[in-house]
Structure 1
Amino acid sequence: MAQRIKVWDGAVRFFHWAMVLLVAGLWFSGSEGYIALHQILAYCLASLLVARIGWGIWGSQTARFSQFAASPQAAIKYLGNARPVVGHNPASSYMIFTLLALLLLQIISGLATFDNSYMSDGPLVALLPASWVDLASAIHQVNIDIILILVTVHIGFALWHSWRHDNVIKTMVTGNSKVSDAPQPRLRNSWSFFAMLAVLLLIVYYWQGRALLALL
C-alpha cells in the first residue's frame, strides 16, 4: 500500500525552481542584449550551483550525489521498467549530473567571454590569452543550445513520468510523494544550504554585483 513520505527538502526544491527561472532569464536576457541583467543572473546561478554542490555532499539523504548516482546498466534497466522511486531515479541522475556540468561550463566560459555586442566583457577576459577568450566565447554560444535541448528533454520525460507513473512535478513542489513500502529518507534542515547561498551571493555582490546593478 502506498504511503505518503517526505522526499525532498526545502533546499532541493528551492534549487530546482530557482534554476528553472534563472536559466530562462539568462536565455532571454542574453538573446535580447540585456547584458547587465544577464551577468547578474549568471552570478546568482553560479552561487546557486556552488551551494547545491555543497548540499550534494553534506545535505539530506535524497540530495546527496552519492545516493542517486547509478551505473549505466541501472539507468537503462530503469528506462525499460520505469516505476516510482524515492528521490532521483537512475535515469534522471545522468541528466542531473550532465546539466550541472554544462551549467558550470556555461558559467566558467561566460567569465571569459568577449562579444562586441556586450556592454562589458567577462572579468577573466583581460587576464587570459586571446585564443582562450575566443574558445570560451565559442563554447558559451554553443553550450547554451545544448543546455536548452537537454532541458526540453528533461521536461518531456518529467511530464511523461508524471502521466504514466507518479507526479514527480508535484512532488518537486510539495516535497511529498506516495511510494509503496518505502522508508522515510533522512532529511536535514536546509538552513546551512541557504546560509551558504547567502554568503556566496554577498561575495559576488561585492565582487561584480554593485557595478552591474548600477548599469540597470
Structure 2
Amino acid sequence: MYRKVLALSALLISACSTDNPHKQSMHHNDFELSDSAVKIQIKSGNKTISGSGTWIDEQHILTASHLWLDASKDYSLSIITRNGSQPATVINIDDPKNRDLALLKVEKNTIVKAPPNWKLPVCDNVLAPGESVWVLSGMYNTLSNTYASPDSTYYYKGIVGSDGLTAFYQNGVSGSAVLNQSKSCLYGVVSQQDIKKNQCLSDIYYEDYYK
C-alpha cells in the first residue's frame, strides 16, 4: 500500500543555550500524549545508547539519527515504554550532518503500542522566534516548556523561522518531539548541537515510500 509519511527533516531542534526549561510531569489531558513518547535503546557491543522518540502514527516512531553514530553494524534496537520493551526496525535514517532524523517501525499488536488511532501531524507553519513550545521526552517522561530562540534564525520563502531553543537538555533527550503550544502538531525533534554552524533545525519535508 502506498502511503506518504514524514521521513521529515523536521525542524531538527537542538538545545542552544543554558537556560533550564520549566518541567512538569504529564498528567490529566497529557496522558495520551505521554503514551506517544518512547525511550530508544541501541545496544552495540558492550555499549548502550539511549534517547527519546515519538509515535507519529500507530506503527512509526520518529527520533534523531545521531544516536546511531557510534553503533556497530550488528547493533540491536529496542523501544521501551512503561508497558515493556519491543524490537523495532529502522526504515529510514538520514546523515545527521544533513538531517538528524531516523524513522522506525514497530509491528502492530505488540506490547509496545501507540495510543489508539494515533496521528501526530507536522505543523503547517515554521517555528517563529520567541514562540512557546513543548518538548516531550520519552527518556525522562517529562513535558518541558521552552521558547524558540530569537538569536538563531533563518529565512524561508520570505518568512523568518527559528532554528534553536532557549533551553539546555541533558543526555537522553535527543530525539524528543518539539510540539506547538497547543500540543496538536510536531515542529521537529531535539537534535545535537552544531557549535560551528549554530544551526539546530532544517526544513520540513515529506518522503514517499511503499509499505
* Larger helix proportion of the pair: 1
* Larger strand proportion of the pair: 2
TM-score by length of 2: 0.28
TM-score by length of 1: 0.27
